[in-house]
Amino acid sequence: MMSKKGETDLYDRSLYINREISWLAFNRRCLEEAMDPTNPVLERVKFMAICYGNMDEFFMIRMPGLLGADVDRLVNIGPDTFSDSNQLISMINDKVNELTDGYEECWAELETALGKEGISILSVSALDPKQKMWVDDYYKERIQPLLTPLALDISHPFPFISNNSLNVAVKLRREGEVLYARVKVPVGILPRFVKVPSPAKTLQFVLLENIIKENIASLFPGLEVLGCYKFRITRNADVKVTIDEAVDLMSAVEDALDSRDVGFPVRMVVEDTMPADLANVFARNLKLRDNQVTRASDKGMMLTDLWEIAGLNRPELKNKPFTPEIPAEIAESVSLFSALRKKDWIFFHPYESFDVVVRFLKESAEDSNVQSIKICLYRIGKNPEIIRQLMRAKENGKAVSVLMELRAKFDEVNNIAVARELEKIGVHVVYGPVNLKVHSKLLQVVRLEKDHLVRYTHMSSGNYNENTAKQYSDISFMTSDPEIGEDVGELFNALTGYFGPRSYSRLLVAPLTLKSTLIEMIRREAEHKKDGRKAYIAMKANGLIDADIIAELYKASMAGVKIDLNIRGLCCLRPGIKGISDNITVTSIVDRFLEHARIYYFANDGDPKMYLGSSDLMPRNLIARVEVLFPIRDPDMMASIRDNILNICLQDNVKARVLKSDGSYVLKKRKSGEKKLRSQQWFRENIGAWHA
């Protein structure tokens, strides 16, 4: 751990938690929420679906790089690397197997809990005669016409198996010869959980694939069915967009998307009772190694479809609904332009309604004095009101410019469709720098007031997405500050023109000054502490991976600076190492809403600095994306955000987990006599406490 100069090497691998292991640890925390009996049962089911969906994404996005990794490429995987990629893959598989066991145990508990509420998933053999008759009819009328049995032999090409599809592998015999076949389960066309006629006040379901398995012989007349078993494969979905001078960015993204569903196989999960010879037929043809094939119980496969159960209309089994609020000072009757001329505003979603942002666009679209609207869009969701208001503004003669990031992972198709829709009516749509994703959340309205132009600006940690704004906790900021407005206007010019070094007086912009300025502020706290002045750092983010940032935090800790980090997801910093990180505490909150806000606070010897925005502390944010952090300049607003958002998160002792130096997380223990503080509940009960 010592460098050649005898100093501590703060880049030593032992000081970092591997990012893949940290990723899986986050999924463990989600699993804990699914297992928590204090959560309503359908909320637990939702977390179960999230867990399995997260695992799918891990194998689609992270594992392909590891499977193809060599020693030189491993430097790109994270600050804690393995010289042998097989060693890392083995460790990952061990963690995945532990999680899979946890999923199955949790789902068994949830089935029991659901049963007590009159919701049951039945085996076909458990159906009563009337239900069995109904299922037989459903199979003949709705399922069988959709099925295509595919033989696996030398006269038939091995079938393409689509990403994350559910399949049934069939072992057959004809005149002593063993044969194999595959049937795709039409999940998506039909529900995975098929509702069968049920007694009053109950809901009973049968799994779609179990109906198919029960009737599999009908697809292979004249053959003996020796067995049929579920399986699914996961493919590489980490598409790479290749740009050359002959194509535009949209065409390049569309070409890349064509390869997503046909990426190389990464993992196969088979039902635990599947015979080895049958599993080997698929593994061999898919070119999968032994460590890429795992087994799961009948009920432990493809639990992403539990969203169907989580969405049942049983409100008494879900979190109590609450109504987001809007401050009285900016009620519907109040012009937002008038309010913003008086002072800046922050909004903490979903506790405060995202409607205020939509309303800002509505007012801008209808206001005859508004000259132009510019906005950066990353994830916008389906059928967004935001887009309708941008179109309305264009119809009303405003100059509307939209920077649409086409490469937002898994949102590319939707973003391309919306971009084309906007272009058709004359909105100026651009896609940003070819080599950088634009992840900034920016909206600027230019309005003519008394013969001069005034810029009104909205910035946020979250997307312009009305759906996720109800599920993610984010902070947004509205201001008429001319310096902020000038910076944002300059950044829009860079994004629509040619992106490169420019001067910004207030904003921190990645990949230009954001990382270096954060490092400067961390170092300044260390110097304050060394000189006996007040020093403290608190950060709230989704991820902390960047080795340079972590090394600077280690240095500040070694100088005696107290550092509190609230990192929801990946964290490669290893806290609690004596003499290095023993002044650093890391917590993670997993609760009803996805923690998504970013806050960076520095005490600075009584002249505190605070930045909010879209950027996490990860290399992709700091060097591969256009990100923006904006300052909170009003002292009262800063103190209110610090005391009534940031500190509340840091004080959470109900849903917060503490990161240990070995990379594990444990629920935060309350001190003797300490009251419970569940931050998200506190925010719901104290809406608006963060307004200065």
Indicate whether 76 pLDDT > 60: no
What are the strands, taking DSSP E only, across 340-441? 345-349, 370-377, 399-404, 428-430, 437-438
What's the pLDDT score for residue 174? 95
What's the pLDDT score for residue 246? 47
Rounded mean pLDDT of 487-505?
Answer: 91
pLDDT tens readout for residues 223-243? 999 999 999 999 998 877 776
Distances (CA, A) of 651 to 430, 459, 679: 43, 27, 8
Distance of CA 459 to the CA centre of its chain: 20
Indicate whether 15 pLDDT > 90: yes
Lowest average pLDDT, out of 6-20, 79-93, 160-174, 268-282, goes to 79-93
Rounded mean pLDDT of 598-610?
Answer: 99
Distances (CA, A) of 153 to 170, 177, 482: 13, 12, 71
What's the CA gap between 670 and 652, in Å, rounded?
A: 9
The percentage of the chain sitting over the pLDDT mark of 70, rounded to a whole number, equals: 96
Indicate whether 284 pLDDT > 70: yes
pLDDT tens readout for residues 183-226? 999 999 999 999 999 999 999 999 999 999 999 999 999 999 99
What's the pLDDT score for residue 183? 98
What's the pLDDT score for residue 72? 39
pTM of the model: 0.94
Indicate whether 401 pLDDT > 60: yes
pLDDT tens readout for residues 80-96? 655 577 888 889 999 99
What's the CA gap between 384 and 466, in Å, rounded?
A: 7
Rounded mean pLDDT of 366-372?
Answer: 98
Rounded mean pLDDT of 407-434?
Answer: 92
Confirm if 495 and 430 have CB atoms less than 8 A apart: yes
3-class secondary structure, 235: strand
What's the pLDDT score for residue 252? 82
Rounded mean pLDDT of 486-496?
Answer: 95
At 269, the amino acid letter reads: V
Q: Which two tokens stand for residue 508?
A: 């921190």
3-class secondary structure, 480: coil
Confirm if 393 and 373 have CB atoms less than 8 A apart: yes
- Residue showing tokens 């309604």: 353
The count of residues in the chain is 692
What's the pLDDT score for residue 232? 96
Rounded mean pLDDT of 299-307?
Answer: 86
Rounded mean pLDDT of 400-415?
Answer: 92
Lowest average pLDDT, out of 88-97, 258-267, 629-638, goes to 258-267
Average pLDDT over the chain reads: 94
DSSP 518-562: HHHHHHHHHHHHHTT---EEEEEES-B--HHHHHHHHHHHHTT-E
What's the CA gap between 384 and 387, in Å, rounded?
A: 6
Give every CB contact of residue 527 below 8 A, 6+ residues apart in sequence: 559
What's the pLDDT score for residue 506? 97
Catalytic residues: 439
Rounded mean pLDDT of 493-499?
Answer: 90
pLDDT tens readout for residues 447-466? 999 999 999 999 999 999 99
Distances (CA, A) of 530 to 534, 560, 574, 584: 10, 8, 23, 17
DSSP 249-302: HHHHHHHHHHTTTTPPEEEEEEETT--HHHHHHHHHHTT--GGGEEEE-GGGS-
What's the CA gap between 521 and 42, in Å, rounded?
A: 44
Lowest average pLDDT, out of 5-9, 129-133, 478-482, 533-537, goes to 5-9
Q: Is the link from the previous residue into 129 a cis peptide, with omega within 30 of 0?
A: no
Confirm if 165 and 184 have CB atoms less than 8 A apart: yes
What's the CA gap between 663 and 115, in Å, rounded?
A: 36
What's the pLDDT score for residue 600? 99
pLDDT tens readout for residues 531-561? 999 999 999 999 999 999 999 999 999 999 9
pLDDT tens readout for residues 29-55? 999 999 999 999 999 999 999 999 999
Closest C-alpha to 649, from 562, 539, 566: 566
What's the CA gap between 280 and 288, in Å, rounded?
A: 9
Confirm if 327 and 688 have CB atoms less than 8 A apart: yes
Distances (CA, A) of 416 to 13, 151, 428, 618, 627: 41, 38, 14, 27, 21
What's the CA gap between 571 and 588, in Å, rounded?
A: 9
pLDDT tens readout for residues 325-343? 999 999 988 999 999 999 9
Indicate whether 258 pLDDT > 80: no
Domains defined for the chain, CATH in brackets: 13-317 (3.30.1840.10), 328-506 (3.30.870.10), 509-685 (3.30.870.10)
DSSP 102: H
Q: Which two tokens stand for residue 199?
A: 């007694």
Indicate whether 69 pLDDT > 60: no
